[in-house]
Amino acid sequence: MISANRKAKYRTYLDGTQSKPGKFFDWILVGLIAYSVVTLTIDTLPGNSPGLTRFLHISEVVITLIFTLEYAVRIYLAPNRWRYIFSFWGIIDLVAVAPFYIMLGFGIAGVDLRGVRAFRLLRILWLLKLARYSRTLARFRRAFELAREELLVYLLMTLILLFVSATGIYYFENPAQPEAFASIPHSLWWAIVTLTTVGYGDVYPITAGGRFFTFFVLMVGLGIVAVPTGLVSSALSQARREESDIRLAELEAEGKGDG
Amino acid sequence: MISANRKAKYRTYLDGTQSKPGKFFDWILVGLIAYSVVTLTIDTLPGNSPGLTRFLHISEVVITLIFTLEYAVRIYLAPNRWRYIFSFWGIIDLVAVAPFYIMLGFGIAGVDLRGVRAFRLLRILWLLKLARYSRTLARFRRAFELAREELLVYLLMTLILLFVSATGIYYFENPAQPEAFASIPHSLWWAIVTLTTVGYGDVYPITAGGRFFTFFVLMVGLGIVAVPTGLVSSALSQARREESDIRLAELEAEGKGDG
Amino acid sequence: MISANRKAKYRTYLDGTQSKPGKFFDWILVGLIAYSVVTLTIDTLPGNSPGLTRFLHISEVVITLIFTLEYAVRIYLAPNRWRYIFSFWGIIDLVAVAPFYIMLGFGIAGVDLRGVRAFRLLRILWLLKLARYSRTLARFRRAFELAREELLVYLLMTLILLFVSATGIYYFENPAQPEAFASIPHSLWWAIVTLTTVGYGDVYPITAGGRFFTFFVLMVGLGIVAVPTGLVSSALSQARREESDIRLAELEAEGKGDG
Amino acid sequence: MISANRKAKYRTYLDGTQSKPGKFFDWILVGLIAYSVVTLTIDTLPGNSPGLTRFLHISEVVITLIFTLEYAVRIYLAPNRWRYIFSFWGIIDLVAVAPFYIMLGFGIAGVDLRGVRAFRLLRILWLLKLARYSRTLARFRRAFELAREELLVYLLMTLILLFVSATGIYYFENPAQPEAFASIPHSLWWAIVTLTTVGYGDVYPITAGGRFFTFFVLMVGLGIVAVPTGLVSSALSQARREESDIRLAELEAEGKGDG
């Protein structure tokens, strides 16, 4: 059993952006995550040689074992273990390794391969672990937190707009294009593609009524699409201000300590 | 006949975000609205079993009756009945139930089914009733009110731009694509799809002149599409400031009352 | 010959947003412009009856004569005639009527019909006359003036980006799609459609290199498309501030006059 | 050997926005750059006559020689030569002429024509030299510098989002469309085209799961696409403020010198 002091010191090695071993450790983990995403991407390519596939799978096993070790060490070093396990980062760390062991279990139990392969794709969530290693990213997270309530209302407004648009276009286009606009759920796909201005071109109105309705919906929709821009950017500048206030307060506190 | 005091108390049950029965009642209405939109959506799916269709229609009747009751109670409890009936919310509440009774009337009179089915789609307007139940949504409405005049001018500018673009592309593309750009109304469809950057790909210029004109129109258009973003986000921050001013004034008034 | 005082009074009838006859006159002109745009639009529809076409053409002649009269009266009433003629509004007023007379001249000279028809489309420029009649529109014009220099630089940046993108995609895609990306001018069309996020789908990269290049260009491009949003909205708020400053100064001046 | 004073004077001729010969020289270089981009563009057109091609190539040689001379003079006049050579502008000036000489070398060595032709396209980078000649453009560069760290984090977030989206859509669509969504790299193309709202329409989901996932990804994605708008516009206004501060300080300094 090691002392609490020692644990605190080791913790700075894991998370630390100040200590040298901490930075070194960070870069290794970031490199492992990037490497694992690349292997996952290559693994899905059709026509890989059996040798390459074998190598990619061994890579996967090794990296998962490293992340399992990291997870175990983090639990061991945490001042409050359960709090870490149920914290945002604790869950991310678990989600990053769990699929492998569940897959292993299924593999032993003899479940069919296709489902197992899909499970392997969950490795992409390792990318979320990257969010721990950047100061500026923390500012983005703070900004999304600040604007959360308004973003939720914006999402609700968008949902209402999507349903009303889908119902309207269903009314206008269903008689003319009974396959593309077969029902409101089908029309919802049109509403999503149109209001986000993606416009694939797989479904579009051909009647005069439907086109006029599209114009009307887009005029309202562009006003609504403009909303998150304002929300996110004003929240971002608020987060930046908060940060500099905190840094100022720290500097002042240091100044008093010295004086 | 119940007293005015009692009425005021019951009103808090309907609208109240503070009183407990008010909150409970709100959640029931929100749930009913969500349920009815889901049933409407499912109802339009082709190939439903007769049993499901029957169940969906009974649901519709029950919910309409509940909303009719709500409408009647709101009229009864209103301090000024005619003012409520012609208020924004009064009209929304009426529009939510009226189609059912008009439909019923038509059904009894023996009008053909297709028109009746379209009428049923008006149930989607029940979604607008949701706007009553959110504080943040009220802020959005206030923001749109603040920017109303400028948004109208923006709409006018967009309309002018659309007509000028449609006339221009008609000049360039009509000789080369006499079907897709058959007239200015046909070209307007192109202008809408292009200037909103949806770009379905059903109509696009193929001549050098038409393509150069498209570039020119898009350069101007992107500047104009940028306008609502600024309008909505500045109006939104003004609405937020107003709100906090009101809350401050309330707190001060409370402070004086206590002191 | 009428006195300068009288002229000034009549001028308020033409432009005035305060005087009653001025407002009345404004609404008539706005109505005529709207009517003439509608007739132009209908006129391009294929399959109009000869009677309708005749009626539309007579409408056109009548409205042009009214606008010619308006132009003559404006010149007559202007304090400095040449200055009005070469002012922004003077040129717009001339451009609104000139095509008709040039067309008439060509018609008499016996030039072929197709060119004449295209000339008629210039009537759409009457829409620009609408810009005279709105206070808020004046604010938009002021905002565009304030941001003019930056918008020009933005346009230059966009042009550079378009040429660099077109050259890049030409390098990657020309060997694979020698028709769609036949030359840099052909590739410019792709660059315009892609960087404005319209994406018709008539040309798109199919090689891995071209797709990676598209990703790179879009990442840079989205940052640049974001520029006018900021420019226009900050200029718009500056224009609004200027206006309220002027109104404040006017109110103060009135206050001093009264006190 | 000329004196340092003289060199400084000549330098103002090259860069100067104040001195008359400096401005004259600037306009000539800007004109040459524009001319060379036009010749490059025309050169790629199929079906040019041999005479035109010959003329374009001679133009290219002449302009390259002029820019080589400019580069040599700039090195000669620089107060610190190596610092200029490795500065941003020094590298741009070199990149503008180097391809020609490398091409010449390859041509003499007898390398195949296709590679040489691609090299010639690098002339498009001459456009970057334009960035030296505008004050407002300097403000844009300053703004991008100010927001650099945040823009990098935004790029990282976009990359993570793209990979997660591609993996998700691969899971949903690969069984239904094994060719369009053959692997994660193939799906990345879909993610790029969709999240930037370009939407060519060459790949799009057709399963209910894939469409629902697209909706989810777009809701998150629009919030993220909104980020650079805020970043760039706030950085731009900061850059503008800095500039006016500097100008104010200069005016004050002048005032003191005079007083």
DSSP string, D154-209: HHHHHHHHHHHHHHHHHHHHTTT-TTTTSSHHHHHHHHHHHHTT---SSS---SHH
Q: Which residues of D207-230 are buried (b: 16+ CB within 10 A; e: fewer)?
A: eeebbbbbbebbbebbbbbbbbbb
Q: Is the pLDDT of residue B151 over 50?
A: yes
D229 interfaces chain B, CB cutoff of 8 Å: yes
CA distances from C48 to C39, C54, C61 (A): 12, 10, 19
End-to-end CA distance of chain C: 41
Place of tokens 């796909």: A189
Q: What is the pLDDT of residue B114?
A: 54
D-chain residues near A196 (CB < 8 A): 197, 218, 222
Q: What is the pLDDT of residue B148?
A: 83
Closest-CA distance of chain B to residue A171, Å: 6
Stretch among A11-15, B90-94, C29-33 having the lowest mean pLDDT: A11-15
**Mean pLDDT over residues A221-226, rounded?**
72
**Mean pLDDT over residues B99-122, rounded?**
71
CA distances from B46 to A178, B117, C72 (A): 10, 14, 65
CB distance D153–A140 less than 8 Å?
yes
**What is the pLDDT confidence band of residue A208, given thresholds at 50, 70 and 90?**
very high
**Mean pLDDT over residues D21-44, rounded?**
85
Nearest Cα residue to B121 out of A205, A209, A189, A167 = A167
Rounded CA separation A115/A123 (Å): 14
pLDDT digits (tens, 9 = 90+) for D191-217: 999 998 899 999 999 999 999 999 999
Element containing residue A79 per DSSP (H, E): none
Stretch among A136-150, C8-22, C92-106, C125-139 having the lowest mean pLDDT: C8-22
Highest mean pLDDT among B220-224, D105-109, D158-162: D158-162
* Cα B14 from chain centre: 22
Touching D (3+ Cβ pairs <8 A), the chains are: A, B, C
CB distance C201–A197 less than 8 Å?
no
Q: What is the pLDDT of residue A52?
A: 92
C223 interfaces chain A, CB cutoff of 8 Å: no
Question: Who among A137, A197, A229 is closest to D226 (CB)?
Answer: A229
Between B and C, how many CB-CB pairs are < 8 A?
A: 105
What mean pLDDT, rounded, does chain B reach? 82
- Same fold? A4-132, A148-258: no
Which among C155, C171, C207, C213 is the top mutation candidate for probing chain D, defined by the most D β-carbons within 10 Å of its own β-carbon? C171
Q: What is the pLDDT of residue C259?
A: 42
Rounded CA separation B45/D78 (Å): 75
Q: Please state, as a whole number, how many other Cβ atoms lie within 10 Å of the Cβ of residue D231.
A: 27
**Mean pLDDT over residues D21-47, rounded?**
85
Angle at B207 between CA B203 and CA B210, to 5 degrees: 70
Q: What is the pLDDT of residue C18?
A: 60
- Percent of chain A having pLDDT more than 90? 21
A223 interfaces chain B, CB cutoff of 8 Å: yes
**Mean pLDDT over residues B59-63, rounded?**
89
- B199 burial (CB, 10 Å; 0-12 / 13-18 / 19+) is buried
Place of tokens 């005079």: D258
Amino acid at B148: R
Specify the higher pLDDT residue, C228 or B171: B171
Question: Who among D41, D200, D232 is closest to C185 (CB)?
Answer: D41
C92 interfaces chain B, CB cutoff of 8 Å: no
Q: Is the pLDDT of residue A165 over 70?
A: yes
Is pTM beyond 0.80? Reply is yes
Phi first, then psi, for residue C37 (nearest 5°) are -65, -40
A-chain residues near B200 (CB < 8 A): 199-201, 204
Phi first, then psi, for residue B2 (nearest 5°) are -100, 160
pLDDT digits (tens, 9 = 90+) for C26-51: 788 888 888 988 888 888 888 889 99
Closest-CA distance of chain B to residue C198, Å: 4
pLDDT digits (tens, 9 = 90+) for B161-193: 899 999 999 999 999 999 999 999 999 999 999
CB distance B201–D197 less than 8 Å?
no
Q: Which residues of C189-205 are buried (b: 16+ CB within 10 A; e: fewer)?
A: bbbbbbbbbbbbbbbbb
Element containing residue A85 per DSSP (H, E): helix A81-85
Question: Who among C152, C201, C234 is closest to D237 (CB)?
Answer: C234
Q: What is the pLDDT of residue B94?
A: 86
Q: Are B131 and B115 in contact (CB under 8 A)?
A: no
Rounded CA separation D80/D76 (Å): 9
Q: What is the pLDDT of residue D108?
A: 74
Closest-CA distance of chain D to residue A90, Å: 20
- Sign of CA pseudo-dihedral A128, A133, A136, A141: positive
CATH number, span B4-133? 1.20.120.350
CB distance C202–B201 less than 8 Å?
yes
Q: Are D126 and D94 in contact (CB under 8 A)?
A: no
CB distance A196–D200 less than 8 Å?
no
Q: What is the 3-state secondary structure (H, E, C) of chain C?
A: CCCHHHHHHHHHHHHCCCCHHHHHHHHHHHHHHHHHHHHHHHHCCCCCCHHHHHHHHHHHHHHHHHHHHHHHHHHHHCCCHHHHHCCHHHHHHHHHHHHHHHHHHHHHHCCCHHHHHHHHHHHHHHHHHHHHHCHHHHHHHHHHHHCHHHHHHHHHHHHHHHHHHHHHHHHHHCCCCCCCCCCHHHHHHHHHHHHCCCCCCCCCCCCHHHHHHHHHHHHHHHHHHHHHHHHHHHHHHHHHHHHHHHHHHHHHHHHHHHC
Rounded CA separation B205/D88 (Å): 40
Q: Are B200 and C63 in contact (CB under 8 A)?
A: no
Q: Which two tokens stand for residue C34?
A: 């709207």
D196 interfaces chain C, CB cutoff of 8 Å: yes
Q: Is the pLDDT of residue B211 over 90?
A: yes
Q: What is the pLDDT of residue D116?
A: 60
CB distance A229–B228 less than 8 Å?
no
Q: Is the pLDDT of residue C68 over 80?
A: yes
Q: Are C149 and D132 in contact (CB under 8 A)?
A: no
Phi first, then psi, for residue B48 (nearest 5°) are -70, 150
Q: What is the pLDDT of residue A166?
A: 93
Q: What is the pLDDT of residue C116?
A: 60
D244 interfaces chain B, CB cutoff of 8 Å: no
C-chain residues near D48 (CB < 8 A): none
Highest mean pLDDT among A91-100, B38-47, C110-119, D134-143: B38-47
CATH number, span C148-258? 1.10.287.70
**Mean pLDDT over residues B134-141, rounded?**
74
Place of tokens 């502008």: D89
What mean pLDDT, rounded, does chain A reach? 82
Question: Who among D170, D183, D230 is closest to A233 (CB)?
Answer: D230
A155 interfaces chain B, CB cutoff of 8 Å: no
Q: Which two tokens stand for residue B233?
A: 């986000």
B177 interfaces chain C, CB cutoff of 8 Å: no
Closest-CA distance of chain C to residue D11, Å: 25
Q: Which two tokens stand for residue A126?
A: 């390792």
Nearest Cα residue to C223 out of A198, A143, D134, D158 = D158
Q: What is the pLDDT of residue A259?
A: 42
Place of tokens 């694979």: C176
B223 interfaces chain D, CB cutoff of 8 Å: no
C-chain residues near B197 (CB < 8 A): 196-199
D259 interfaces chain B, CB cutoff of 8 Å: no
Touching A (3+ Cβ pairs <8 A), the chains are: B, C, D
Rounded CA separation A93/A79 (Å): 17
Q: What is the pLDDT of residue C189?
A: 94
Angle at B255 between CA B254 and CA B259, to 5 degrees: 120
Highest mean pLDDT among A136-145, B66-75, B245-254, C138-147: B66-75
Q: Which two tokens stand for residue D143?
A: 């703004």
Q: Are B96 and B29 in contact (CB under 8 A)?
A: no
D-chain residues near C215 (CB < 8 A): 192
pLDDT digits (tens, 9 = 90+) for A103-161: 777 777 766 655 566 777 877 877 877 777 666 777 777 888 888 888 888 888 888 89
Q: What is the pLDDT of residue A1?
A: 55
Q: Are A223 and B232 in contact (CB under 8 A)?
A: yes
**Mean pLDDT over residues B96-117, rounded?**
72
Q: Are B143 and B157 in contact (CB under 8 A)?
A: no
Residue of D nearest to C226 (CA): D229
Stretch among B19-28, C88-97, C206-215 having the lowest mean pLDDT: B19-28
Q: Which residues of A173-208 are buried (b: 16+ CB within 10 A; e: fewer)?
A: bbeebeebbbbbbbbbbbbbbbbbbbbbbbbbbeee
What mean pLDDT, rounded, does chain C reach? 82
Q: What is the pLDDT of residue B259?
A: 42
Place of tokens 């909150």: B23
Rounded CA separation C36/C62 (Å): 10
A-chain residues near D157 (CB < 8 A): 137, 140
- Sign of CA pseudo-dihedral D42, D47, D52, D58: positive
C192 interfaces chain B, CB cutoff of 8 Å: yes
Place of tokens 């993570």: D160
Rounded CA separation A252/C61 (Å): 78
Q: Is the pLDDT of residue A186 over 70?
A: yes
A-chain residues near C201 (CB < 8 A): 200-201
Residue of D nearest to A199 (CA): D199
Question: Who among A41, A127, A151 is closest to D223 (CB)?
Answer: A151
Q: Which CATH class is domain C4-132?
A: mainly alpha
Closest-CA distance of chain B to residue A193, Å: 8
What mean pLDDT, rounded, does chain D reach? 82
Q: What is the pLDDT of residue D259?
A: 42
Place of tokens 């041509």: D107
Q: Are C110 and C116 in contact (CB under 8 A)?
A: no
Domain ranges for chain C: 4-132, 148-258
- Looking at beta carbons, which pairs linking B133-141 to residues 24 or more positions away fall under 8 Å? B133/B17, B133/B26, B133/B29, B133/B30, B134/A153, B134/A156, B135/B17, B136/A149, B136/A150, B136/A152, B136/A153, B137/A153, B137/A156, B137/A157, B139/A150, B139/B236, B139/B239, B139/B240, B139/B243, B140/A153, B140/A157, B140/A227, B140/B236, B140/B239
ipTM for the assembly: 0.85
Closest-CA distance of chain B to residue C60, Å: 16
Rounded CA separation B135/B244 (Å): 13
Residue of D nearest to B226 (CA): D229
Sorted by sequence, the CB contacts under 8 Å of residue C91 that are 6+ apart come out as C85
Nearest Cα residue to B148 out of B221, B239, B224 = B239
